């Protein structure tokens, strides 16, 4: 891997390339907002992610109740899944169907799953929009992304602990391990979705996993394992490219982490892996749009 050194000079909203997170926010207002977020401990950021997401879920339930005032709990569940996850799932004989939805939040749900993984000594990290929301711009999230180093010999024990609270397919888990892809959990209580990606053997994925770190998300001592800010930037840039470079959400998440972390980022690491992953052009574009001059 070759080494290219860059020397960022400052982060400035006055840069001609700077782009705000949304069109209706002025650079000055955004600068103030990021300054506030930067001053907060990470657990406060996690609290905001939890509250904003739960708020959107509550609004979705209110809308369903207004549209279907006489609907059964099973009908409300199916409609909530369709609206929040974009899929139509109906599991015959599901004992949770006639129960009311017990809304949770992504931080609580991630902690619940993390506790199960920890109990089985399965290493993991929480990535995706939960990680970028804590390390960058706060926003609501639709689901939770985890990376787990899950061996086949622990699958039966994992499924036994997950059920009946979580819907999980053993075949999907085994297939994910064999292909180093992902499988899904759906919480029957809150209907939250967790995507668990199997740790890949690729050099970047292994490096990202080695650099992960525990972060307190609920004082005094409840922690989640998160990737570094540099690695969530690189990972989301990779997803952005894989998705055809059309996801404004992924791009905005990357900008948010870049702007919040600013000069604390390891730019040599970013450029080194950006080159290795063939993300150099996208990386330098996001640097410019974040107001980072070099």
User: Which DSSP string do the residues of 214-250 spell out, in sequence order?
Assistant: EEEEETTTEEEEE--HHHHHHHHHHHHHHTTS--HHH
User: Residues 197, 181: contact at Cβ < 8 Å?
Assistant: yes
How many angstroms separate the CA atoms of 208 and 231, rounded? 6
Alpha carbon distances (Å) from 95 to 28, 152, 168:
52, 28, 15
> Model-level pTM?
0.91
CA 143 to chain centre: 7
What is the predicted pLDDT for the residue at 73? 85
The total of other beta-carbon atoms located within 10 Å of residue 57's CB is 22
How many angstroms separate the CA atoms of 252 and 271, rounded? 19
- The DSSP element (H or E) to which 22 belongs, if any, is none
Answer whether the bond into residue 70 is a cis peptide, omega within 30°.
Answer: no
Pairing of strands 166-167, 182-187: antiparallel
What is the predicted pLDDT for the residue at 93? 56
What is the predicted pLDDT for the residue at 82? 81
Which of 174, 175, 172 minimizes the C-alpha distance to 184?
172
What is the predicted pLDDT for the residue at 143? 92
Which of 47, 185, 197, 191 minimizes the C-alpha distance to 127?
197
Q: Mean pLDDT, 10 residues at a time, over the chain (294 residues)?
A: 53 82 94 95 97 92 90 86 71 67 93 98 98 97 96 98 95 98 94 96 98 98 98 98 95 97 94 97 95 79
């Amino acid at each position: 891997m070759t080494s290219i050194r860059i020397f960022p000079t400052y982060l400035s909203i006055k840069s001609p390339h700077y782009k705000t997170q949304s069109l209706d926010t002025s650079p000055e207002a955004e600068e103030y907002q990021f300054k506030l977020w930067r001053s907060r401990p990470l657990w406060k950021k996690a609290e905001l992610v939890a509250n904003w997401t739960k708020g959107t879920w509550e609004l979705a339930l209110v809308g369903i109740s207004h549209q279907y005032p006489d609907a059964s709990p099973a009908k409300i569940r199916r409609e909530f899944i369709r609206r929040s996850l974009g899929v139509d799932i109906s599991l015959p004989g599901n004992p949770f169907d006639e129960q009311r939805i017990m809304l949770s939040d992504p931080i609580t749900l991630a902690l619940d799953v993390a506790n199960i993984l920890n109990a089985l000594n399965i290493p993991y990290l929480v990535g995706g929009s939960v990680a970028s929301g804590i390390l960058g711009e706060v926003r609501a999230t639709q689901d939770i992304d985890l990376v787990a180093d899950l061996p086949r010999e622990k699958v039966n024990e994992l499924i036994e602990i997950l059920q009946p609270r979580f819907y999980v397919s053993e075949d999907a888990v085994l297939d994910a391990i064999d292909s180093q892809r992902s499988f899904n959990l759906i919480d029957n209580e809150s209907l939250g979705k967790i995507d668990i990606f199997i740790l890949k053997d690729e050099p970047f994925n292994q490096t990202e996993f080695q650099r992960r770190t525990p972060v307190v998300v609920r004082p005094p001592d409840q922690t989640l394992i998160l990737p570094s800010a540099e690695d969530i930037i690189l990972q989301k840039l990779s997803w952005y490219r894989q998705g055809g470079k059309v996801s404004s959400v992924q791009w905005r998440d990357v900008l948010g982490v870049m702007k919040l972390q600013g000069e604390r980022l390891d730019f040599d690491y970013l450029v080194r892996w950006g080159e290795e992953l063939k993300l150099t052009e996208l990386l330098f574009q996001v640097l410019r749009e974040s107001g980072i001059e070099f």
